[in-house]
Structure 1
Amino acid sequence: MALNPGGPLPASHDRRPIGVFDSGLGGLTAVREILRALPGESVVYFGDTARVPYGNKSRETVTRFALEIAHFLVRQNIKCLLVACATASSHALEALRRSFDIPVLGVIEPAVETAVRASPHGRIGVIGTLGTVGSGAYPAAIARRAPAAHVISRACPLFVPLIEEGWLDHPVTRGVAEEYLAELRGAALESLILGCTHYPLIAPLLGGLLGPGVTLVDSGAEAVRSLASLLAERGQTASGSPEHHFYISDEPRNFTRVAQAFLGRELPPVTVVDQTDLPWFERLPVRGTEAR
Structure 2
Amino acid sequence: MLANAPIGVIDSGVGGLTVAKEIMRLLPNEKVLYIGDNARCPYGPRSQSEVRKYTWQMARALMNKNIKLLVIACNTATAATLDSLQKSLPIPVIGVIFPGARAAMKVSVTKEIAVLGTEGTVRSGAYENALKSLVSSCHIVQLACPKFVPLVESDEYEGEFARKMVRDTLGQLDSKSFDTAILGCTHYPLLQTFIEEKFGPSVTVLSSASETAKDVENHLRFQRMLADAKHPPVHEFYTSGSTAIFGTIIEKWLEIDNPIIHILKFPQT
**Shared fold (TM-score, shorter chain, > 0.5):** yes
Native 8 Å contact 2:100 2:182 kept in 1:
yes
Between the aligned partners of 1:186 and 1:218, the Cα distance in structure 2 is 17
Q: How far apart are residue 212 of structure 1 and its match?
A: 2.1
Code of the aligned partner of 1:172 = F
Cα displacement (A) at 1:137:
0.5
Which of residues 42, 47, 51 in structure 2 aligns to 1:53? Answer: 42
RMSD: 1.4
SS in 1 for 2:71: strand
CA distance in 1, matches of 2:24, 2:192: 19
Q: Tell whether 2:247 aligns with 1:256.
A: yes
Give the one of 248, 254, 257 matched to 1:266.
Answer: 257
- Give 1:245's aligned residue: 236
The one of 127, 131, 136 aligned to 1:142: 131
Pairing 1:211–2:221 present: no
C-alpha deviation, 1:114, in angstroms? 1.1
Separation in structure 2 between the aligned mates of residue 73 and residue 29 of structure 1, nearest angstrom: 19
Q: Given the alignment of the two structures, is residue 35 of structure 1 paired with residue 20 of structure 2, yes or no?
A: no
Residue by residue over 1:136-157, the C-alpha shift from the partner in whole angstroms, topping out at 9 and shown as x without a partner, is: 1101111111111111100000
How far apart are the structure 2 equivalents of 1:186 and 1:121? Answer: 13
Structure 1: give runs of 5+ residues left out of the alignment. Answer: 1-5, 283-292
| Deviation, structure 1 residue 259 | 1.4
* Matched residue, 1:288: none
User: By how many angstroms is 1:217 displaced?
Assistant: 1.8
Counterpart CA distance in 1 for 2:108 and 2:122 is 20
Q: Normalized against structure 2, the TM-score is what?
A: 0.95
What's the counterpart of residue 279 of structure 1? 267
In structure 2, stretches of 5+ residues that fail to align are none
Q: Distance in 2 between matches of 1:197 and 1:239?
A: 29
Distance in 1 (alpha carbons) for counterparts of 2:175 and 2:203 = 12
Deviations 1:255-289 (A, max 9, x none): 1111111112214231111x2xx328x5xxxxxxx
Q: Report percent identity of matched pairs.
A: 38
Helix, strand or coil at the partner of 2:181:
strand
Q: Distance in 2 between matches of 1:167 and 1:254?
A: 10
Structure 1 counterpart of 2:209: 220
Residue 230 of structure 1, CA deviation? 1.1
State the secondary structure of the residue aligned to 2:172: helix
Tell me which residue corresponds to 1:170: 159
1:1-292 correspondence runs (5 A): 6=1, 14-240=3-229, 241=231, 242-273=233-264, 275=265, 278-279=266-267
The two structures have a TM-score, normalised by structure 1, of 0.88
Q: Partner residue of 1:286?
A: none
Tell me the equivalent position of 1:3: none
Q: Which runs of at least 4 in structure 1 moved beyond 4 Å after TM superposition?
A: none
| Cα distance in 2 between the residues matched to 1:239 and 1:129 | 38
Number of aligned residue pairs? 267
For the 8 Å contact 1:49–1:252, the answer to whether it is kept is no
Measure, in 2, the Cα distance between the counterparts of 1:94 and 1:76.
Answer: 22
Q: Check the 8 A contact 2:155/2:245 in 1, yes or no.
A: yes
Check whether the contact 1:154–1:180 (CA below 8 A) recurs between aligned residues.
no
The 1-side partners of 2:168 and 2:144 are apart by 11
- CA distance in 2 between counterparts of 1:269 and 1:136 reads 37
Q: Distance in 1 between matches of 2:65 and 2:51?
A: 21
